[in-house]
Structure 1
Amino acid sequence: MHPRAGRYAESGLRTSLLSAPGAVGAEAVGLRPIGEVMGCVVARSEELTSGLRHGYATALDRLRAEASALGADGVLAIACTVTRVSATVREFTVLGTAVRAERGVRPARPFTTGLPGPDVAKLLYAGWVPVTVAIGIDGGTTYDIAMRDRPGEEVRAPTELVTRVRAGARAEFTGAVAASGADGGLVTSTTLRAWRLGPTGVGAVTSVFGTAVAQVGAGARRGVAGAVLPLSDE
């Protein structure tokens, strides 16, 4: 048994990171919170983009291992953070709340999602299920002598770099959704970090975070979903 899951079993305590509305939304569709789960890794990488990919993937794998050890069917409201320790060392942490299905068919492996309980409830009532957290990352560098000579004006090279890495991250996110066997993806957040490289250079890295979802029903049932999370102002 996973060490953290073993401590849960010994203490008998069950923790949750869900808000009160989040817990109510999850329980409304038969997902009972059974414990907070975490995955983390401190990793060294000379290459930023591949280091981010590996760090997030490792942390998420460890979170899934904890959830499986608890007998969970899924993990809700996953938050991913990265802390820079040094120029080449970063700490990756993912936190979420494991849930167990009280009825219906249990998945072969725990699903993962960054969506909170009410949003997951809305998905389930509408005939969709979360499959896995999906992440797309891309980065690059560019140099242009014009960045030094034209202050206050748009410089083409950095603009093209940011556009390119954003497109690359979106494409990688879409690929991750397709690789999971899901029918679509919900983007929940994006990040962009850019920095100067001397007087004529710039670097940029962007990330796209979301959830791959699969359709299992005939379509939305608005009257039922509205009891958990309003779909409109009506």
Structure 2
Amino acid sequence: MTQTPDGLPAAARSRVERQAASGVRSSLFSAPAAAAARSAGLLPVGEVFGGMVVNLGWTGTGCAWWTPTGPTAALGTWQSRTAWRSPVTTSGGSTYAGYAPYVKGFESAWYGAVRRMLAEARALGAHGVVGVTVQRSRLDGSAWEFTALGTAVRSDDPLLVPYPKNRGDVWSTNLTVEDTASAILSGYAPGELLLGISISTKHEDYELRTQRSSWVNGEVTGMTELVQAARAEALHRLETRATATAGAQLVVTDLRLGEFETPCGEEKDLHAEATVVGATLIPVPRYSRRAELSAVTTVIPLSDLRARA
């Protein structure tokens, strides 16, 4: 794919140039959102987009494993089947274990789309991007498209949102414009948009198969372990990325879970895919507008001080 020196695809560079030449500052803001942005010193400079199509064909290697446990483990093959206990494995271990290659490919495409969106915002001279939505859609077979869309903004009040320390840095958040404005006015600057993803796997052992096919209402313990493991690791991966910025506060904005099965010989494996998205907020040491105004404004009491005394 042809890219310009600033890392933008050629089509994105053309779109930026047309927008700059027209003088039109497009946005995805509603009227209330535009008012909220203005209250926090944010001015829209354009709608920005980033996209990437990837092939996620290689998911990993092998089936999940199981191990005989309990008093029947030493018995014959047929009897020991009732003692099979397959552990839950996740994608965060070995580079090639389970669905680790799929997870790494997913993360690369997700962040790749976000980076291209930020490159477009940088070309417009923006300080940040608000209201970001990142989506994926299957195109054909194992080909997936990842897209990131948001509104690029500039800050005209460094007391509320400090200008980026390094030229070219652009912050991003998927918080709504109203929530972003509330955070800014409360002393928090937007940081970055983050993803955590995990796929857990468990072989359908005897216990799990029995619980899934039972007519008795009760917990399917293997499935509980499966989904909890996926969610826990996805959150851990998200938190690990968030702690890279000292003092950042993490706001979890989306948590999704899906389940699917794959054949493993004559049996099958069960999988849970968890994705969690969050946005960081960074405390800004500053004095507020209220404090600034109180330094130059005389407050006139509306009642007699002697009467109140």
Check the 8 A contact 1:147/1:200 in 2, yes or no.
Answer: no
Corresponding position: 1:135 with 2:146? no
1:169 aligns with 2:231: no
Question: Whose Rg is larger?
Answer: 2
Contact 1:148 1:200 in 2 (8 A): no
Matched, 1:111 2:171: yes
Measure the CA separation in 1 of the matches of 2:262 and 2:222.
13
RMSD over aligned Cα atoms = 2.2
State yes or no: 1:83 paired with 2:137. yes
| Deviations 1:76-121, CA, capped at 9 Å, x for gaps | 0001111012342210001000001112141131110001111111
TM-superposed deviation, 1:220: 9.3
1:4 and 2:15 correspond: yes
Q: Secondary structure at the match of 2:131?
A: strand
Change (3 A) 1:221 1:30: closer
Q: Which of residues 26, 48, 55 in structure 2 aligns to 1:44? A: 55
Q: 2: CA distance between counterparts of 1:30 and 1:214?
A: 17
Residue 100 of structure 1 corresponds to: 154
Q: How far has the Cα of 1:144 moved from its partner?
A: 2.0
3-state SS in 1 of match to 2:103: helix
- Structure 2 distance, partners of 1:219, 1:205, is 44
Q: CA deviation at 1:23?
A: 1.4
* Residues 143 and 157 in structure 1, CA contact (< 8 A), matched pair in contact too: no
Higher strand content, 1 or 2: 1
SS of 2:219's equivalent? Answer: coil
**TM score, norm. by length of structure 1:** 0.87
| TM-score (normalised: structure 2) | 0.67
Of 16, 26, 34, the residue aligned with 1:15 is: 26
Amino acid at match of 2:222: A
Percent sequence identity over matched residues? Answer: 33
Q: Which sections of structure 2, spanning at least 5 residues, go unmatched? A: 1-5, 7-12, 60-101, 291-309
Aligned-residue offset at 1:219: 9.6
1:65 counterpart residue number: 119
Question: 1:196 offset after TM fit, Å?
Answer: 2.3
Q: 1:226 — aligned with what?
A: none
Q: Give 2:270's aligned residue.
A: 202
The structural deviation recorded for 1:189 is 0.8
Distance 1:220 1:201, change over 3 A: farther
What is the aligned length? 222
Alpha-carbon separation, structure 2, partners of 1:51 and 1:20: 38
Please give the per-residue CA displacement for 1:136-155, whole angstroms capped at 9, x wherever unaligned.
11112211233433325433
Distance 1:93 1:54 in 2: 12
